[in-house]
């Protein structure tokens, strides 16, 4: 078979062979050249951030407060001393009250405790600020009492010195169909004593 160029002139056989030889050589060079690694370049290890380090563990986040306890169900941790050894129980002798005086030792004022007078039992929610309420009243037919409010404890010279507990609130005394409002302001003195068991 004779091959011709674009002008109809016969092409020389060696020119055709040369064209095929060049094309074949280019294919051979491409086939023999080392393959490129198409793996993406990884970031340096120092720049990598583990997923666990990027997202904080919610269980490690602890919410604390220094607000007064709202009631006996308020179990929120207090910020002071978080992560430290819990302080020892604070025991105090509580003396005072006007209408129904008390003189007793409270083994831990940070926990719920009851001041036991001769007539009334008054439960305090615990801590230096909290709530109180009557939990025991005299059993006198025709008479009933209901009282509650808030209290506050202060140690002006430090917790190892004497302090004061004051109450504010009020209640109602009922006799038959007649009721009378009463004020709940009382004052007690607290003196540190040796630790004891409740």
What are the tens digits of pLDDT across the range 15-69?
A: 444 444 444 444 343 444 444 444 444 444 444 444 444 444 444 445 677 676 6
Beta carbons within 8 Å of 121's beta carbon, 6+ residues apart: 114, 115, 134, 135, 136, 137
Q: E strands within the chain?
A: 92-96, 102-106, 113-116, 121-124, 129-136, 143-154, 163-175, 178-183, 187-192
Residue 121: count of CB within 10 angstroms of its CB: 15
Which phi and psi (to 5°) does residue 168 adopt? -145, 140
Residue 84 confidence class, pLDDT cut points 50, 70, 90: very low
Residue 135 confidence class, pLDDT cut points 50, 70, 90: very high
Residue 44, in any domain of the structure: no
Residue 29, in any domain of the structure: no
With a threshold of 0.85, does the pTM exceed it?
Answer: no
Residue 24, in any domain of the structure: no
For residue 107, what are the domain limits?
A: 87-192
Residue 1, in any domain of the structure: no
Residue 144, in any domain of the structure: yes
The total domain count for the chain is 1
Q: What angle do CA 146, 150, 153 make, to 5 degrees?
A: 130
Residue 127, in any domain of the structure: yes
Residue 176, in any domain of the structure: yes
Residue 60, in any domain of the structure: no
């Amino acid at each position: 078979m004779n091959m011709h160029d674009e002008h109809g002139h016969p092409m020389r056989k060696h020119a055709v062979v040369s064209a095929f030889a060049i094309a074949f050589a280019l294919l051979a060079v491409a086939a023999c050249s080392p393959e490129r690694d198409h793996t993406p370049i990884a970031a340096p290890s120092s720049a990598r951030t583990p997923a666990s380090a990027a997202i904080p563990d919610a269980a490690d986040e602890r919410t604390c407060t220094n607000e007064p306890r709202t009631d006996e169900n308020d179990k929120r941790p207090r910020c002071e001393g978080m992560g430290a050894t819990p302080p020892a129980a604070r025991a105090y002798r509580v003396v005072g009250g006007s209408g129904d005086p008390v003189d007793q030792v409270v083994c831990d004022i940070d926990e719920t405790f009851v001041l036991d007078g001769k007539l009334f039992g008054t439960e305090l929610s615990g801590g230096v600020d909290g709530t109180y309420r009557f939990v025991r009243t005299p059993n006198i037919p025709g008479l009933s009492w209901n009282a509650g409010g808030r209290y506050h404890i202060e140690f002006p010279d430090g917790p190892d010195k004497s302090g004061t507990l004051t109450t504010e609130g009020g209640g109602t005394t009922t006799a038959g169909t007649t009721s009378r409002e009463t004020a709940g302001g009382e004052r007690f003195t607290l003196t540190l004593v040796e630790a004891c068991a409740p």
